[in-house]
Amino acid sequence: MRKLLLQVQVSADGYMAGPNGEMDWLAHPWTADLNAHINALTAKVDGIVLGRRLAEGFIPAWAAGPEGEDQESIDWMNNTPKVVISRSLTESPWENTTVAGGDLAATIGELKSREGGDLVVYGGGTLVASLAEANLIDEYHLFVNPVALGGGMPVFPGRRELRLVAADAFDCGITALHYEPRR
Protein backbone atom coordinates (compact mmCIF):
# COMPACT_ATOMS: atom_id res chain seq x y z
CA MET A 1 0.00 0.00 0.00
CA ARG A 2 1.18 3.51 -0.81
CA LYS A 3 2.19 5.87 1.99
CA LEU A 4 1.19 9.49 2.44
CA LEU A 5 4.25 11.62 3.21
CA LEU A 6 4.11 15.16 4.51
CA GLN A 7 6.98 17.31 3.24
CA VAL A 8 6.89 20.80 4.67
CA GLN A 9 9.24 23.60 5.61
CA VAL A 10 8.75 24.80 9.17
CA SER A 11 10.21 27.38 11.51
CA ALA A 12 12.26 26.23 14.50
CA ASP A 13 9.16 26.78 16.65
CA GLY A 14 6.93 24.61 14.44
CA TYR A 15 5.06 26.98 12.14
CA MET A 16 4.42 26.52 8.38
CA ALA A 17 3.55 30.20 7.92
CA GLY A 18 3.56 33.37 9.97
CA PRO A 19 0.50 34.82 11.75
CA ASN A 20 -0.80 36.39 8.51
CA GLY A 21 0.31 33.58 6.20
CA GLU A 22 3.78 35.10 5.69
CA MET A 23 6.33 32.92 3.94
CA ASP A 24 9.12 35.53 3.72
CA TRP A 25 11.08 33.68 6.41
CA LEU A 26 11.88 30.92 3.88
CA ALA A 27 15.05 32.76 2.90
CA HIS A 28 17.72 30.09 3.24
CA PRO A 29 19.02 29.08 -0.20
CA TRP A 30 19.03 25.32 -0.56
CA THR A 31 22.42 23.69 -0.92
CA ALA A 32 23.41 20.66 -3.00
CA ASP A 33 23.23 18.32 -0.01
CA LEU A 34 19.63 19.36 0.74
CA ASN A 35 18.66 19.05 -2.94
CA ALA A 36 20.09 15.51 -2.99
CA HIS A 37 18.04 14.65 0.11
CA ILE A 38 14.84 16.00 -1.47
CA ASN A 39 15.55 14.12 -4.72
CA ALA A 40 15.98 10.87 -2.78
CA LEU A 41 12.73 11.49 -0.91
CA THR A 42 10.70 12.27 -4.03
CA ALA A 43 12.21 9.41 -6.07
CA LYS A 44 9.65 7.04 -4.53
CA VAL A 45 6.73 9.48 -5.01
CA ASP A 46 4.40 9.49 -8.00
CA GLY A 47 1.54 11.64 -6.75
CA ILE A 48 1.15 15.05 -5.11
CA VAL A 49 -1.74 15.96 -2.78
CA LEU A 50 -2.60 19.63 -2.22
CA GLY A 51 -5.28 21.67 -0.57
CA ARG A 52 -7.23 24.00 -2.88
CA ARG A 53 -5.83 27.28 -1.56
CA LEU A 54 -2.24 26.09 -1.88
CA ALA A 55 -2.93 24.60 -5.31
CA GLU A 56 -4.12 27.97 -6.62
CA GLY A 57 -0.62 29.40 -6.21
CA PHE A 58 1.54 26.27 -6.24
CA ILE A 59 0.46 24.74 -9.56
CA PRO A 60 0.64 27.96 -11.65
CA ALA A 61 3.98 28.90 -10.05
CA TRP A 62 5.59 25.59 -11.02
CA ALA A 63 3.96 25.72 -14.47
CA ALA A 64 5.68 29.08 -15.02
CA GLY A 65 9.07 27.59 -14.13
CA PRO A 66 10.08 29.45 -10.96
CA GLU A 67 13.32 31.41 -11.16
CA GLY A 68 16.19 29.72 -9.36
CA GLU A 69 14.75 26.20 -9.65
CA ASP A 70 16.55 23.57 -11.69
CA GLN A 71 14.76 22.17 -14.74
CA GLU A 72 14.66 18.64 -13.30
CA SER A 73 12.67 19.87 -10.28
CA ILE A 74 10.37 21.98 -12.46
CA ASP A 75 9.70 19.00 -14.74
CA TRP A 76 9.06 16.69 -11.78
CA MET A 77 6.59 19.11 -10.20
CA ASN A 78 4.75 19.67 -13.47
CA ASN A 79 4.73 16.06 -14.67
CA THR A 80 3.75 14.38 -11.41
CA PRO A 81 -0.03 13.84 -11.18
CA LYS A 82 -1.73 16.00 -8.57
CA VAL A 83 -4.89 15.58 -6.52
CA VAL A 84 -6.44 18.72 -5.06
CA ILE A 85 -8.60 18.13 -2.00
CA SER A 86 -11.46 20.61 -2.13
CA ARG A 87 -15.02 21.09 -0.96
CA SER A 88 -15.63 23.94 -3.43
CA LEU A 89 -14.07 22.74 -6.70
CA THR A 90 -15.77 20.06 -8.76
CA GLU A 91 -13.28 19.90 -11.62
CA SER A 92 -9.67 20.89 -12.11
CA PRO A 93 -8.68 24.06 -13.96
CA TRP A 94 -5.09 22.73 -14.11
CA GLU A 95 -3.38 20.18 -16.33
CA ASN A 96 -2.41 16.81 -14.87
CA THR A 97 -4.61 17.47 -11.82
CA THR A 98 -7.81 15.92 -10.50
CA VAL A 99 -10.09 17.18 -7.75
CA ALA A 100 -11.32 15.03 -4.88
CA GLY A 101 -13.83 15.95 -2.23
CA GLY A 102 -16.10 14.21 0.20
CA ASP A 103 -14.92 12.25 3.21
CA LEU A 104 -11.19 12.92 3.70
CA ALA A 105 -10.36 9.52 5.19
CA ALA A 106 -12.17 7.69 2.39
CA THR A 107 -10.50 9.86 -0.28
CA ILE A 108 -7.00 9.33 1.13
CA GLY A 109 -7.70 5.62 1.69
CA GLU A 110 -8.71 5.24 -1.94
CA LEU A 111 -5.59 7.10 -3.14
CA LYS A 112 -3.35 4.94 -0.94
CA SER A 113 -4.96 1.73 -2.21
CA ARG A 114 -4.08 2.46 -5.84
CA GLU A 115 -1.04 0.90 -7.46
CA GLY A 116 2.07 3.07 -7.63
CA GLY A 117 4.60 4.93 -5.57
CA ASP A 118 4.04 6.99 -2.48
CA LEU A 119 2.08 10.25 -2.28
CA VAL A 120 3.44 13.52 -0.95
CA VAL A 121 1.37 16.30 0.57
CA TYR A 122 2.90 19.78 0.59
CA GLY A 123 -0.06 21.55 2.24
CA GLY A 124 -1.83 23.83 2.78
CA GLY A 125 -2.28 24.33 6.43
CA THR A 126 -5.96 23.39 6.69
CA LEU A 127 -5.41 20.15 4.77
CA VAL A 128 -2.29 19.23 6.76
CA ALA A 129 -4.11 19.85 10.05
CA SER A 130 -7.06 17.70 8.91
CA LEU A 131 -4.78 14.89 7.72
CA ALA A 132 -2.78 14.94 10.97
CA GLU A 133 -5.91 15.04 13.11
CA ALA A 134 -7.33 12.01 11.25
CA ASN A 135 -4.00 10.12 11.53
CA LEU A 136 -3.74 9.80 7.74
CA ILE A 137 -0.08 10.87 7.41
CA ASP A 138 2.35 7.95 7.40
CA GLU A 139 5.61 9.92 7.45
CA TYR A 140 6.40 13.48 8.49
CA HIS A 141 9.34 15.11 6.72
CA LEU A 142 9.84 18.45 8.45
CA PHE A 143 12.47 20.79 7.03
CA VAL A 144 13.28 23.02 9.98
CA ASN A 145 14.54 26.49 9.06
CA PRO A 146 16.78 28.29 11.57
CA VAL A 147 14.24 31.01 12.37
CA ALA A 148 11.60 31.31 15.09
CA LEU A 149 8.34 33.07 14.21
CA GLY A 150 6.70 33.27 17.63
CA GLY A 151 3.28 32.43 16.18
CA GLY A 152 1.48 31.51 13.01
CA MET A 153 0.07 28.43 11.30
CA PRO A 154 1.23 25.35 13.22
CA VAL A 155 2.08 22.06 11.56
CA PHE A 156 0.19 20.16 14.23
CA PRO A 157 -3.34 21.08 15.31
CA GLY A 158 -2.87 19.28 18.62
CA ARG A 159 -0.77 16.73 20.39
CA ARG A 160 0.92 14.11 18.18
CA GLU A 161 3.05 11.22 19.40
CA LEU A 162 5.90 10.72 16.92
CA ARG A 163 8.90 8.44 16.57
CA LEU A 164 12.10 9.94 15.16
CA VAL A 165 13.37 7.96 12.17
CA ALA A 166 16.20 10.26 11.05
CA ALA A 167 17.62 13.74 11.47
CA ASP A 168 19.92 15.33 8.91
CA ALA A 169 21.55 18.77 9.06
CA PHE A 170 22.43 20.55 5.81
CA ASP A 171 25.02 23.15 4.88
CA CYS A 172 22.38 25.89 4.45
CA GLY A 173 21.31 25.60 8.10
CA ILE A 174 18.10 23.64 7.48
CA THR A 175 17.62 20.37 9.37
CA ALA A 176 15.41 17.57 8.05
CA LEU A 177 13.49 15.64 10.69
CA HIS A 178 11.81 12.41 9.57
CA TYR A 179 9.12 11.14 11.92
CA GLU A 180 6.52 8.41 11.87
CA PRO A 181 3.37 8.61 13.97
CA ARG A 182 3.11 6.34 16.99
CA ARG A 183 -0.07 4.40 16.45
Q: How many domains is the chain partitioned into structurally?
A: 1
For the domain that residue 171 is a member of, what is the CATH number?
3.40.430.10
Question: Backbone dihedral region of 132: left (phi > 0), alpha (psi from -120 to 50 degrees) or beta?
Answer: alpha
End-to-end CA, the chain: 17
Is the preceding omega at residue 124 within 30 degrees of 0, hence cis? yes
pLDDT by residue (tens digit) across 41-62? 999 999 999 999 999 999 999 9
> Which range is least confidently modeled, 11-15, 26-30, 83-87, 126-130?
26-30
Task: Tell me which long-range contacts 63-69 makes (C-beta under 8 A, separation of at least 24).
Answer: 63/94, 63/95
Whether pLDDT at 21 is above 90: no
Enclosing domain of residue 41: 4-20+29-181
> For residue 158, what pLDDT band results from cuts at 50, 70 and 90?
confident
